[in-house]
Structure 1
Amino acid sequence: MNSFQDRERAFEAKFAADEDLQFRITARRNRLVGHWAAQQMGLTPEETEAYAKSVVQADFEEAGDEDVIRKLLGDLVSAGVDIDELGVRTALEGKMAEARRQFIEESN
């Protein structure tokens, strides 16, 4: 029975580590896409940092990416940037790949 409990604990630990890693990758993706959006809107470096943080915080409003997409799309359109929801989703996908790549490079 001890072997089963050890395997169960190992599985739970791996699950927790995987969830933590996914959370960190998503937060980095949101920061990266926040920088991208700030550049599209022509923000200053100081405004860019604050905006990137606000995009990360927006992800805590609800589960999934819809809260981030809504924020980005609303802010970009309000700033006069010619973009649609597909463009925002494409940027999110690209920044997710970049965030994963950065984590892989950091772990090597």
Structure 2
Amino acid sequence: MTTFDKREQGFEAKFAHDEELIFRATARSNKLLGLWAASQLGLSGDAAASYATALVTDHLQTQTMNEVVEKVSGDLAAKGLAREQVAQKLQECLHQALAQLEADKQ
């Protein structure tokens, strides 16, 4: 195996690792956002968990962050929360998810 082959394998491994990290962070942040939104909607227990799980699993491979924000802001519109507030909360959840994943790794 040449040095070039080893470098290529290293880049491929890093790419796969980074993609997995992005997937896990997105799923975790969507769940955190879902739990927050559920509490804003007055949901608790199984209803809150179901809302959060649905936010993670619905269209898992094709859902963008923008679509998540649109769905949650639509659900929370009656509560007076603006789209920008939901987008800000999603960013906070993403940072929290990345911190949790980093802590899990150690």
TM over 0.5: yes
Alpha-carbon separation, structure 1, partners of 2:73 and 2:61: 16
Instruction: Give RMSD over aligned pairs.
Output: 1.5
Greater length-normalized contact order (CA 8 Å, ≥ 6 residues apart) = 2
Alpha-carbon separation, structure 2, partners of 1:61 and 1:73: 21
Alignment pair present for 1:44 and 2:44:
yes
Aligned residues: 106
Alpha-carbon separation, structure 2, partners of 1:55 and 1:21: 19
Deviation >2 Å, runs of 4+: 57-64
Identity %: 37
Gaps of 5+ in 2: none
Map Cα deviations across residues 52-99 of structure 1 (whole Å, 9 max, x no partner): 01111245374531110111011112xx31111100101001101110
Alpha-carbon separation, structure 1, partners of 2:59 and 2:26: 9
TM-score by length of 2: 0.92
Question: Aligned partner of 1:23: which letter?
Answer: F
**Partner residue, 2:32:** 32
